[in-house]
Chain A
Amino acid sequence: MSQDHPDLRESYLFDRPTIRDIQRAADKGIYHIRGGGAKRRLPHFDDLVFLGASISRYPLEGYRESCGTDVTLGSRHAQKPLKIDIPITIAGMSFGSLSANAKEALGRGASEVGTSTTTGDGGMTQEERGHSSKLVYQYLPSRYGMNPDDLRKADAIEVVIGQGAKPGGGGMLLGQKISDRVAEMRDLPKNIDQRSACRHPDWTGPDDLEIKIRELREITDWQVPIYVKVGATRTYYDTMLAVKSGADVIVVDGMQGGTGATQDCFIEHVGIPTLPAVRLAAEALQELGLHRTGVQLIVSGGIRCGADVAKAIALGADAVSIGTAALIALGDNRPDLAEEYAKLGSAPGFYDDWQAGRDPAGITTQDPELSKRLDPVQAGHRLANFLRVLTLEAQTLARACGKSHVHNLEPEDLNALTIEAAAMAKVPLAGTGWIPGQGF
């Protein structure tokens, strides 16, 4: 029953959003493309709670006893592993999808708190390199802007196999976001849709990937770590294969992970949530004897707060990565832009037309006038503030569990509130000792 029509019975199957989708498709004749990640309710970190210290566990004093947050990434093969001060990094987002000011702000914010940011499809910009003390360079199927000079300027390389919003899918930067500069960086004409391939052009399968990774190491003289990023699907096997291929760091992006522009049906219906993905990846590393020792795990997809950070780490991640939350921290979906969002048929809290290039916040746009609205210094500081809060929150929860470093968090510190979450995270359902799938 709907609240505004108490006498009418709404169909569960054909509810109003579904009817609107059908009407929109009939009207437009094309699928719905949008930004962001999966919007539907999924089992997530909210479905877990920490078991704070009690008689059998000894907590640490908040604000007095230290709780470490530093992470070393890439100690397996790299001559210069990447050391970050907090267990939160900024995920790859392209210049093209984002404005130059937004990329600069991400670099400034990350650098202010001693962590890394990541390039994206489209290559490395000078602003981004200049304002990022630790920069991860993505190696993507399109190879837009890829060149050995930038490769050697990177602090780490991330070979992107897929992303959580669209595992198995490529990308499309729509023509309206192709400025002169974006076109030049990508070696394509202005104003045309720029497709990002879904497969790498010169390798197929894990045996080839191993050779590709060795080539990248030869070009960079084995100096920097090489990550492999996958969208969460067959996560256990992908993790095993990425390790076998020689990756230093595995990045697993759950289906809540955002995108600049992807079909809604793809975002909502492909991949698995972050919650089971982190556990599957960690289990693979544990079986290989490399968890918390040889190969690091970064998890992304729907990280919003310090509790999400702490829970991801407790389930086995060494660090997390944020994208959507970082854009919100910069100023995306700000309430004071309500009037402008309304003109675009949206509202603060709902704006996801990141593909359209008309972002009033100046973040997901290449329009020079709109881009100017984002002050990279101020926005970068807002991001740094947000990252500090995430870190403080994660430390608070870790101390409550008696941990002197966030990496000491473990699944044993967690209970689940739902059967689904218990099964996916492989922790007991609260009030029971039951982990579904592992007997009684």
Chain B
Amino acid sequence: MMREIDLTEGDIRQLNRILQRRDGNEDANFTVTNPMGRHALAAGLMHDIKVQIDGHVGYYCGGMNKHASITVDGNAGVGVAENMMSGLVRVKGDASQSAGATGHGGLLVVEGNASSRCGISMKGIDIVVQGSVGHNSAFMAQSGHLVICGDADDGLGDSIYEAVIYLRGEARGLGADCIEKEMTDDHRATLKGLLDRAGIVADAQDFRRYGSARQLYNFKIDNVGAY
């Protein structure tokens, strides 16, 4: 059974208490209407529930999500699905800066474009962007996958660690220590799996792979020009 929560006059705190099941409810399907760009919607969810948000959301929607599947039928503000642990966050429109920042797990799908620093410091999350991403995406990205079906702005993968970037379009520029790497059949299979999970139709053959050259992993004075 779908439970509808209208935020026209609703309180964010009350909404999150319901979605976090702090009131003891056991509902599994929610529709949130009239979000009106408000912040921290569906933040800190802890259960395997489905949340549909009809409209645009502000900062940190789905922040630190664990287990829940959250769909935003609109655009998302800064830090959507930041530090997500597991579950799914899907943005049907565009996402602002720092989408999926520091995420540890789960899947973030952006069906539009994502702005700068998408996947910054990601720690295991998988992110699939159907459009393009802004500058410094995957900055200091530690692990997980960032799939970009469009283009990437400057500084892609700057100071990247062991995260993997799959890019179909062009990168305006790669960041420090980020290089193109060989794309093997294993990588294509991994990529196909990510695209399938995201429900995005694209041919894995069209993508290139980027990752760390591992030259900046330990400070060396010879690399001073890169810092």
Contacts and interface: CB of A to CB of B under 8 A. Distances in A.
B39 interface: yes
A189 B120 contact: no
Nearest to B161: A188
Q: Which secondary structure dominates where chain B touches chain A?
A: loop
A148 B66 contact: yes
Interface residues of B, number: 43
Given A30-B221, A187-B104, A188-B161, A202 B98 contact: yes
Interface of A: 29-30, 142-143, 146-149, 151, 172, 174-175, 186-189, 191-193, 195, 197, 201-203, 208, 211-212, 214-215, 218-222
A147 B46 CA distance: 12
B78 A192 contact: no
A143 B39 contact: no
Contact of A146 (B17, B83, B117, B124): B83
Contact of B20 (A197, A202, A215, A221): A221
Contacts of B210: none
B12 A218 contact: yes
A143 B140 CA distance: 12
B101 A212 contact: no
A220 B64 CA distance: 11
B171 to A, nearest CB: 20
B121 A201 contact: yes
A75 B1 CA distance: 40
Contact of A143 (B20, B59, B121, B159): B121
Contact of B161 (A29, A172, A189, A222): A189
Nearest to B15: A218
Given A30-B221, A187-B124, A214-B40, A208 B142 contact: no
Nearest to B77: A211
A193 B102 contact: no
Q: Which of B46, B139, B162, B219 has the most CB of A within 10 A?
A: B219
Contact of B83 (A143, A175, A186): A143
Q: Which secondary structure dominates where chain A touches chain B?
A: loop
A211 B221 contact: no
21 contacts: A142-B121, A143-B102, A146-B102, A147-B64, A147-B83, A175-B218, A187-B104, A192-B217, A195-B159, A197-B121, A201-B101, A201-B102, A201-B117, A201-B121, A202-B82, A202-B98, A202-B102, A215-B39, A215-B60, A219-B43, A221-B17
Contacts of A143: 83, 102, 121, 123
Contact of B221 (A29, A142, A192, A197): A29
B85 interface: yes
B161 A202 contact: no
Contacts of A174: 219
B58 A211 contact: yes
A219 B218 contact: no
B113 interface: no
Contacts of A149: 66
A218 B59 contact: no
B13 interface: yes
Nearest to B78: A202
A193 B60 contact: no
A55 to B, nearest CB: 56
Contacts of B22: 221
Q: Which of A148, A172, A174, A189 has the most CB of B within 10 A?
A: A148
Contacts of A203: 59, 78-79
B211 interface: no
A193 B218 contact: yes
Nearest to B121: A201
Contacts of A221: 17, 20, 22
B11 to A, nearest CB: 11
Given A29-B221, A193-B218, A202 B123 contact: no
Given A143-B102, A147-B104, A193-B218, 19 more contacts: A148-B44, A175-B217, A187-B143, A188-B142, A188-B161, A189-B217, A191-B218, A193-B217, A195-B140, A197-B121, A202-B101, A203-B78, A208-B59, A211-B58, A211-B60, A218-B43, A218-B63, A219-B44, A221-B20
A188 B217 CA distance: 10
Contact of B142 (A146, A187, A212): A187
